[in-house]
Structure 1
Amino acid sequence: MSELSIKIKIADREYPMRVSEEEEERLRLAGKYLNERIKMFRDQFGIHDKQDLLAMIALETAADKIKTEDAAQQDQMGLEQQLSSLNDLLSSLKLG
């Protein structure tokens, strides 16, 4: 696995990174997403301080992550219940 030297620009500042080829696209997309969110917050709320913008994006991203994790946990519990019901049904068919 070879590493690449790339620069990701976020909030008008470049960040040099060494990443695997597999990570490159994901990190570039993440940088693009952050810059889009910065622009959206700046335009929508009139905030120009970059630290405030990045803090708001970090908070939004953390909240989204928690929401996604909660939804995944609920999905997992639902699947486990369905599998348990199917297992019970199959067990009753074997005995019947």
Structure 2
Amino acid sequence: MEVRRITITIAGRNYPLNVPAAEEETLRRVGKQIEGMIKDFERNFDVRDKQDALAMCALKLGTNAEVSQVTNEKNMNAANERLTQINQILEALEK
């Protein structure tokens, strides 16, 4: 596995990272997303410093992740229920 050394800048600070080459693009995209969120929070809210903006980013990203997880679980449950129904229909046809 190839590892690359990259630097991600968030809130004016540089973070050197050793990352698998396959994850580099994702990390850079997320870093830019966080930077954009910080700028949005600074523009639209009474943000006193970068720490406040970072805390708001963490809350928003955590909320988004939780909502996605709940949605995925609901979708998986619905799919499993539908597959169970289909299986029952197929079993009834075999009899």
Using structure 1 for the length normalisation, give the TM-score: 0.96
Match for residue 12 of structure 2? 12
Match for residue 26 of structure 2? 26
Match for residue 42 of structure 1? 42
Match for residue 79 of structure 1? 79
Q: Cα deviations across residues 25-50 of structure 1 (Å, max 9, x unaligned)?
A: 01000100000000000001031411
Distance in structure 2 (CA, Å) of the matches to 1:65 and 1:76: 16
Structural RMSD (CA): 0.8
Distance in structure 1 (CA, Å) of the matches to 2:84 and 2:24: 41
Distance in structure 1 (CA, Å) of the matches to 2:90 and 2:5: 55
Q: Give the aligned length.
A: 95
Amino acid at match of 2:37: R
Amino acid at match of 2:73: Q
Distance in structure 2 (CA, Å) of the matches to 1:17 and 1:47: 28
Unaligned runs of 5+ in 1: none
